[in-house]
Amino acid sequence: MNIRLRHDTIVRILRRNGTSTIDALAQSVGASRRTVLRDICALRDQGFVIHSETGRGGGVQLDPQSMQTTARLSVAEVFALLISVAAMRAAQNLPFSDLADAGLAKIERSLPPDKVRDLRRFLDCLHIGQLSPQQDLSDLGPITPALLPAFETAFLQQLHLRFLYRDAKGAETLREVEPQAMLILSPLWYWVGWDPARDDFRHFRMDRISDPKAIEGTQFRRRHVPFADDVCPYNNLTR
Amino acid sequence: MNIRLRHDTIVRILRRNGTSTIDALAQSVGASRRTVLRDICALRDQGFVIHSETGRGGGVQLDPQSMQTTARLSVAEVFALLISVAAMRAAQNLPFSDLADAGLAKIERSLPPDKVRDLRRFLDCLHIGQLSPQQDLSDLGPITPALLPAFETAFLQQLHLRFLYRDAKGAETLREVEPQAMLILSPLWYWVGWDPARDDFRHFRMDRISDPKAIEGTQFRRRHVPFADDVCPYNNLTR
DNA sequence: GTTTTTGGTGACAAATTTTGGCACCAAACT
DNA sequence: AGTTTGGTGCCAAAATTTGTCACCAAAAAC
């Protein structure tokens, strides 16, 4: 049996049985006592917390507190999780977000450094505020999932975004703006862009945007986006 | 150099440089061409998507789309993430929650089976609905993070929960109920318990609960909890 | 207090895996 | 046609892993 597979098997057995003696493990796994002891040692090196007790009724035991999961997530999935937690903050009451944050922080630490740089930069542009109760939400539509990667790409590469925008009256116009920030006023999500044609910032409700495209060769500089006082940068929320 | 370490190093180099030839990798890693080829093969077996091109200017390249992260999360952290996403659903507009779901599904798959059973059972009791706009939120308080594990433990072991409850007028009473369900009407969170003293279900706002304790030796049976029509079980939302 | 059970360590030869070198193939570019 | 670059099969050398054995320490049983 493969050494890696054997390690996994041992962990699985310990998880299932709770506790087990070295000899029992050796038998289940088809290896010698010595080898299993070496495996336990290796697993401890890998970060597993394994308690052991000598004497009758003793054995080794995986610390249930330290039970961990290793999941492979794509960068896009991490982004999505992060934004979910961000939105969750936006939705006011945040009972367990500290734990969620800790989980996300770990995930973030395991990302490749350049992706973390991108992530940080993206989160810098993310802002969260409270929607005023008077806001009319009657025509609230669904947000296309493809909008996030489109914005992310254009924002990170600092390229103009061209998209179709449907205004409150239903009229559609083709817009081309510098993507400068993103604003969540749950349940509304906005892109904040600098519109060169109008020489000013514009907010675009994401549920009214369609067909976004980054335009090659249209480098722009980042600008300071003015926000109302009650709008908080995401990075301020996370300290 | 250790084989495992070498694999990691190769991945790191590919992530940093984007693309590299086998010979260059072999040199950086201090191994032979043949070995690096074998490593690439092993990495592919492990799920890494590695493109390769022959000829001048060719080389191997990690698929940036498939770039993955491995993070070790504790079970509690996974719970917290899950609940965050659940709450996010409760907060209506869910642009990217599919991706977040996919990430969570992966995490869930990597949990030990008994924990998944617990998780499923817990999620079965989780319900999500819309708060009526007339609700008075003026006295909305913070929710103690310790409430989640307390409820979770008592719910899973089917033990009575005893806690202090502060009613709308501020009067505190000691309650002991069977924890039967959990309800999110964002931003309000509720425990739904069967109160044996009153022989009926009661809702308890989590921001009014303190000092929860599971009572040993008070096994109860699960009951069907009646909910309003617009309240949806979490598991219905996730299909 | 002696015996038994159980985790843990060191040493060394045997078994197994990994590695490097080599020959050689296929695709793509010059 | 020649060069660059990924990819495979083969085999002996190198390195690692494994099993055996002797032995230690702690805890429980007798």
Backbone angles phi, psi at B219, to 5 degrees: -55, 140
The answer to whether A208 and A166 have CB atoms below 8 angstroms apart is: yes
pLDDT at A238: 44
Question: Chain A residues with CB inside 8 Å of B188's CB?
Answer: 93
State which of A148-152, B142-146, B196-200 shows the largest mean pLDDT: B196-200
- Which protein residue lies nearest to nucleotide C19, measured between its Cα and the C1' atom? B35
Does any CB of chain A come closer than 8 Å to the CB of residue B132?
A: no
Looking at residue A99, its pLDDT comes to 55
Q: What is the pLDDT of residues A126-182, one digit of tens each?
A: 787 767 767 777 777 777 767 777 888 889 889 999 999 999 888 999 999 999 998
Domains of chain A and any CATH numbers: 3-62 (1.10.10.10), 75-237 (no CATH)
Q: Could you report the per-residue pLDDT of A12-40, keeping only the tens digit for each?
A: 888 778 889 998 899 888 889 999 999 99
> What type of residue is A175?
R
Q: State how far residue A133 is from chain B, nearest Cα, in angstroms.
A: 10
Contacts of A81 in chain B (CB under 8 A): 81, 85, 99-100, 103-104
Q: Does B194 score more than 70 pLDDT?
A: yes
Residue A199 confidence class, pLDDT cut points 50, 70, 90: very high
Mean pLDDT over residues B197-215, rounded?
Answer: 92
Mutation choice for B interface testing from A16, A81, A156 by most B CBs within 10 A: A81
- Looking at per-residue confidence, does B130 or A75 come out higher? B130
A59-62 β-sheet, strand order: A19-20, A59-62, A50-53
* Segment (H or E) for B176: strand B172-185
Q: Which of A136-140, B48-52, B225-229 has the lowest mean pLDDT?
A: A136-140
Q: What is the pLDDT of residue B63?
A: 76
Predicted confidence (pLDDT) at residue B229 exceeds the cutoff of 70:
yes
Grade residue A69 by pLDDT with cuts at 50, 70 and 90: low
Confidence of residue B92 (pLDDT cuts 50, 70, 90): very low
Confidence of residue B35 (pLDDT cuts 50, 70, 90): very high
Q: What's the CA angle centered on A65, arms A61 and A69, to 5 degrees?
A: 95
| Closest residue of chain A to B79, computed from CA coordinates | A100
Which 8-state DSSP code applies to residue A238? T
Q: What pLDDT digit, counting tens, does each position of A91-108 carry?
A: 444 444 555 566 666 666
Write down the ipTM of this complex.
0.49
pLDDT band at B65 (very low <50, low <70, confident <90, very high): low
Instruction: Flag whether pLDDT at B224 surpasses 80.
Output: yes
Strand C footprint nucleotides (protein C-beta < 7 Å)? 4-11, 17-23, 26-30
Question: For strand A232-233 and strand A200-205, is the pairing parallel, antiparallel, or unpaired?
Answer: unpaired
Q: Where are the alpha helices (DSSP H) in chain B?
A: 3-17, 22-29, 33-45, 75-90, 97-109, 113-124, 147-157, 234-237
Partnered with residue A86 across adjacent β-strands are none
Mean pLDDT of all residues in B38-67: 80
Query: Which chain A residues in 162-191 lie under 8 Å from chain B, judged by CB atoms?
Result: 186-189
Rounded to the nearest angstrom, the minimum Cα separation between A163 and chain B is 18
Is the C-beta atom of B226 closer than 7 angstroms to strand C? no
Contacts of B61 (CB under 8 A, 6+ apart): B14, B18, B19, B20, B50, B51, B52, B53
**What pLDDT score does A77 carry?**
60
Q: Is some CB atom of chain A closer than 8 A to the CB atom of B87?
A: yes
pLDDT value of position A38: 92
- Rounded CA–C1' distance between A45 and C19, in angstroms: 26
Is the model more confident about A86 or about B224?
Answer: B224
